[in-house]
Each structure stands twice: as structure tokens, then as C-alpha cells.
Copies of this chain bind each other. A is one copy, B any other.
Amino acid sequence: MTTRKYTRPLFVGGFQVGGDAPVSIQSMLSVKSSVHIAAERQIQALVAAGCEIIRFSVMDMDDAQAISYLKRKSSVPLIADIHFDHKLAIAAIQKGIDGLRINPGNIGSRSGVESLVAIARERQVPIRIGVNGGSLPKELLHKYGHSKEAMVEAALSHVKILEDLGYYEIKISVKASDIHLMLASYRELARRVNYPLHLGLTESGTMLNGSIKSAMALGILLEEGIGDTIRVSLSADPLQEVRVAKEILINLGLRKGLKIVSCPTCGRTRINLIELAEKVEKALESFTDRNLTIAVMGCAVNGPGEAREADFGVAGGSGEALLFAKGEIVAKVPEDRLLDELIKLIEGSEA
């Protein structure tokens, strides 16, 4: 499989990112954090979906104040995303935030940054430097054009500010909405630094298209061994971001979970395979702690053979279906009992 590039580990709250930690999943609140109940509900839904780090915008002192409340309600680390105001960042730390996403070069005066780094060091709060292809400094755009050089130099200029203050609890992201620019920027950055990288394709779009683009962009880098934590950005419910991120990691072998393989329908198919595959996927959603591959095949001829590598599977016929385990047929069942029997078979195998 893939060898991951080794990065310097850091801790967001008690949660390790980088080093030998598995690639983690992040998402972002779509509600304002100062609306306590809505934010709390969204945090809990994200955690239930498998989100491991949650970020939110802190735009004013109300949002910063809300941190102490949300910290009590969250079982996962929280990160505050703050622009241009080191006082908000200091307030966020004082309220107990686990991590910051700020760019030291534009968060405030030199003395402001020094105060911020002093308290970040004292409270062990790591900082993500987040460069975005859409908001590069004019002088870098002028010097390099809209290129990986501009992206990486922007990131490294922020890094240098922290390093000059002796602070190394750093993660970096260089997000862009264009896949080629995003890939080139992360590859160059991975060559230049050993800080953990937060991967993201920004403004990737709507549910399906954004998932396709993010899967390509993140998948390409992760398969090369680049990336320590990921956020899939979608114009969709943040819960969907977590779902897509999980699917990416599971299928690259970077996380345990259920893989469903199912054949495309063809002239040979005699059952409603599309519906069956969707149903199997839904029925097995809760099996997240085991590495299982389940095959859902349209025909009994190729089914068991083609899914030999699957742990369990079903192959449809006319009205009845075959259940199989490791490529061997174990039962023939009527189609309407197929799901129950499959689940029974999987649960029985846990013992």
C-alpha cells in the first residue's frame, strides 16, 4: 500500500495529528457558534457521523464567548477560524479552544502576534496556517502569478513568523479550487516542510460534483502519502462532508470500515440491483468498526466468483438470491429475506 510521508506530530486537545496518527477527518460548522443550541446540535451530529475535529468561524466576541459552552458539549477537539484579529484569537484560547486556524502574517501587529504565540505556547494550542488560492497577497500574485510558488511562499512566510518566535506546533494547508494548482502546491509544500498537512480542495461545489472533485484531489495526494488530516468542502450539509471523507479514507485503506462493491447492471441482471445495493449500504451503515467488504452482485453466474475477495455477498437471481461468504455459497434465500439473512450472517461472524 502507500507509505505515508512522516510529519512532526502535534496535538489538538489530546488528539494527535501527523506522525504515526491515522489521517483524521475534519468538518466545519455551518451555523454561527454563538447560537449555542444550533452549534451544539451540529457538533453532536458531526461527532456521531465520525467527524474527529470540528472547526468554526469566530467572527466576533460573542463567538469567542461561546467556546467555553461548546467545549463542555463536545467530545472532539474544537478549532477556531479567525481572520485579522489577534485579540479574538487570544480570547478563543482563554475560552479553552483546542486549536487555531490563523495566518500570523495578517492577524495583527508584531507585538500582537507575540502575545498570541505566548499564550498558545502556554496552553499548548497548535496553529494551522491556511493559505487559500483565492486570497493570495497581491505582491506574490504579481511575482509568481497564480501558481504553486505563490501558494507555498505565502504559507512559508507565515510559518517563518512562528518559527522566529520558536513556535513549531504548526499544521499547514494550501487549498485551491483548481485541482492542478492544489496538487502542485501540496506536493511542493510536502517537499519543503515536515509539518502535518491539512488537505482540502476549496469551493469544490455541490454534493455529487464536489464529492467527485474532492475524491480526486484528496485521493491523489493521500495515495502518494501526503496528508495528515482532511476536510472535504461541499456546498452541502457538513454531515455529508464527513460521509465523503470516510468513504475516501476507507477505500484507500487508510481507515477501517465497510466497503460495498456492487456490479453495474447489464443485460444479464434479473433483479433490481440498484435498489438492493442502496438498501444493503443503508442496512450496514452501523458496521463502522470492522474492515468488511460486502459484494452485491446482479447475477448468480459471475456473482460469487467476481466477488471472491469479498467477506460476504449476495448475488441476485429471479425472486431468490444467493448468500455467500468468502466466495462460497452458504445459502439460497427468497429475495424479500435477503437483507435480514445477510445481516444475520455478518453478525454471526463476529462471535
Contacts and interface: CB of A to CB of B under 8 A. Distances in A.
Interface of A: 1-2, 28-33, 56-57, 59, 63, 81, 132-135, 146, 177-180, 183, 202-213, 215-217, 219-220, 223, 233-238, 241, 244, 247-248, 251-253, 260-269, 273-274, 277-278, 281, 295-297, 302, 305-309
A209 B134 contact: no
A59 B265 CA distance: 14
A216 B215 CA distance: 5
B267 A212 contact: no
Nearest to A276: B235
A203 B236 contact: no
A135 B302 contact: yes
Nearest to A260: B205
A30 B216 contact: no
A117 B134 CA distance: 56
A-B residue pairs, 7 tightest by C-beta: A134-B306, A216-B219, A215-B215, A203-B261, A57-B267, A32-B267, A177-B261
Contacts of A273: 235
B274 A236 contact: yes
A273 B180 CA distance: 25
B235 A179 contact: no
A323 B191 CA distance: 39
What is the total number of copies of this protein in its complex? 2
A342 B272 CA distance: 41
Given A135-B305, A212-B211, A274-B236, A267 B33 contact: yes
- The CB with the most chain B CB atoms within 10 A, among A133, A212, A219, A265, is that of A212
Nearest to A296: B235
Contact of A267 (B31, B209, B269): B31
A264 B216 contact: no
Nearest to A141: B308
A49 B320 CA distance: 34
Contacts of A81: 266
A287 B207 CA distance: 20
Contact of A177 (B30, B269, B309): B309
A59 B267 contact: yes
Contacts of A237: 274
A242 to B, nearest CB: 12
Contacts of A57: 266-268
Contacts of A207: 208, 278
B251 A179 contact: yes
B63 A203 contact: no
B132 A306 contact: yes
Nearest to A238: B264
A284 to B, nearest CB: 12
B267 A134 contact: no
- The CB with the most chain B CB atoms within 10 A, among A236, A237, A244, is that of A236
23 contacts: A2-B180, A30-B266, A31-B267, A32-B267, A57-B267, A134-B306, A134-B309, A135-B306, A177-B307, A202-B263, A202-B306, A204-B262, A208-B244, A208-B247, A211-B211, A212-B212, A217-B219, A219-B220, A234-B264, A235-B274, A236-B264, A238-B264, A241-B264
A309 B134 CA distance: 8
